[in-house]
A = this chain, B = another copy of it.
Amino acid sequence: MAVKEASAVRPPARDRLLAAADELFYNEGVHTVGIDRIIEHAGVAKASLYNTYGSKDELVRAYLETRHASVTQRITRAVERYDTPRERLLAVFEGQGELFAQPDYRGCAFARASAESHPGDLAEQAAEAYRRWVRALLTELAAQAGVPEPEVLARELHLLYDGSGQSARMDHDRAAATAARAAAATLLDAALARGPAARLSG
């Protein structure tokens, strides 16, 4: 056995720091929460944070990457639960509803982080990547549903998606995703009624 196998022996300090960052950054804001709060919450020395992540910015990046992976995975799984294109498209809002149902949901992490950041900042880049992912997913699912102009519908649905997140946060309305799903169904049906699918059925 070698002296050490860095990849096999997982240092818990890194994970505890990330968990603490995730909780505090998300709940109280990236800007507001200081290094001292994080290392205290993680039970870790300050030097360990800087040995592990190098800077607060890098910790923020890791936090946002974790959020991105977690959210996209949840939405993807919700979509994969269904078979029909219509259900799969609407499932995006069901996945969003699952996010809202978490006990301490406080709004879209990227919208929050981006609102605190400067233009071109790390947080804004992460938010833009997330938005591109959502838009691409909605466009693809709209196309598979047979909508004549998938980009147009995807744009409208993205409005609902964003609005739903904001309403869940600011109105403390966890059923916002349900309303968004209903509105999305209406928009989808209207788009199909205007498109080639309507000609086939009519």
Residues of A whose CB lies within 8 Å of any CB of B are 28-29, 31-32, 107, 111-112, 114-116, 118, 127-128, 131, 152, 155-156, 158-164, 166-167, 170-171, 176, 179-180, 182-183, 186-187, 189-190
Assess whether A171 is in contact with B32, with CB atoms less than 8 Å apart.
no
- Which residues of chain B are near A161, meaning CB under 8 Å? 163
Cα-based distance from A125 to B111 in the complex (angstroms):
19
Cα-based distance from A28 to B166 in the complex (angstroms):
21
Q: How far is the CB of A180 from chain B (nearest CB, A)?
A: 6
8 A–B contacts from the bound complex (CB under 8 Å): A115-B116, A127-B170, A159-B159, A159-B167, A160-B160, A162-B162, A163-B164, A189-B190
A166 partner, pick from B155, B162, B187, beta carbons under 8 A: B162
Chain A interface, DSSP helix/strand/loop, else mixed: helix
Assess whether B159 is in contact with A179, with CB atoms less than 8 Å apart.
yes
Q: How far is the CB of A167 from chain B (nearest CB, A)?
A: 6
Extra contacts, 14 of them, besides A115-B116, A155-B167, A162-B166 (Cβ < 8 A), are A29-B116, A31-B32, A32-B118, A111-B115, A131-B171, A155-B179, A156-B180, A159-B159, A159-B163, A159-B183, A160-B163, A161-B163, A183-B187, A190-B190
Q: Quick one: given A162-B166, A166-B163, A179-B155, are A116 and B118 in contact (CB under 8 Å)?
A: no
